[in-house]
Amino acid sequence: MSNHLIRVGAMGLVGQFRSPEGTIYPRGRRVVVRTVRGLESGEVLTEPDGWQDPREADGELLRAMTVEDEMLAERMDRRRDEAFEACRELLADRGLSATLVDVEHLLDGQGLYFYFLGEVTPAVDACTAELAEAYEATVKFRQFTDTLLEGCGPGCGTEDAKGQGGCSSCVSCAVATACKK
């Protein structure tokens, strides 16, 4: 087994992903990984070089992206763009002042993540619930500013915080390096 550092998600989180067969993927290779959120596409940042502990993984590296995976990723990107515009229109139609930053649709089509600045009110929640039905996905919210201000949880950036942000170590936590807590 070997771990690669891989960037995943709209916010570019970096984590260690275990390659069970020991396959080594080169830097820049697009891959399919299983995270706590589901199936996602990612980009290899580093090949295994011995510093990673194979027992400390944030998920599993399943395979290099195939032509079919790339087509699916393009479809999810189009759906993401559609969901972004649909959400902005719903917010405007209802006179809601929430600031939508981004939308992310996972490769498996199951998770639809809306990233907002500030608080997500019940009215905003109702809008995104409508979109979840339309896109047959589970809606998740991320308050972008809270994450930057607070980090992944108490003690973010320290060994004591290990695992709070969904990562196995703060070495792989993009928020920890940004907030330096």
Q: How far apart are CA 40 and CA 63, in angstroms?
A: 11
User: Per-residue pLDDT tens for 27-39?
Assistant: 999 999 999 889 9
Average pLDDT over residues 47-57: 71
User: Per-residue pLDDT tens for 132-169?
Assistant: 788 777 766 555 555 555 555 555 556 655 554 444 55
Listed range (32-46, 112-126, 127-141) with the worst mean pLDDT: 127-141
- SS3 of 91-123: the string is HHHCCCCCEEEEEEECCCCCEEEEEEECCCCHH
Q: Above pLDDT 90, what percent of the chain?
A: 28
Query: How would residue 69 be classed by pLDDT, with cut points 50, 70 and 90?
Result: very high
pLDDT at res. 166: 46
Q: How far apart are CA 139 and CA 52, in angstroms?
A: 33
Six-digit token pair at 175? 């928020």
Q: How far apart are CA 49 and CA 117, in angstroms?
A: 38
pLDDT at res. 33: 95
- Give phi and psi for 16, each to the nearest 5: -90, 130
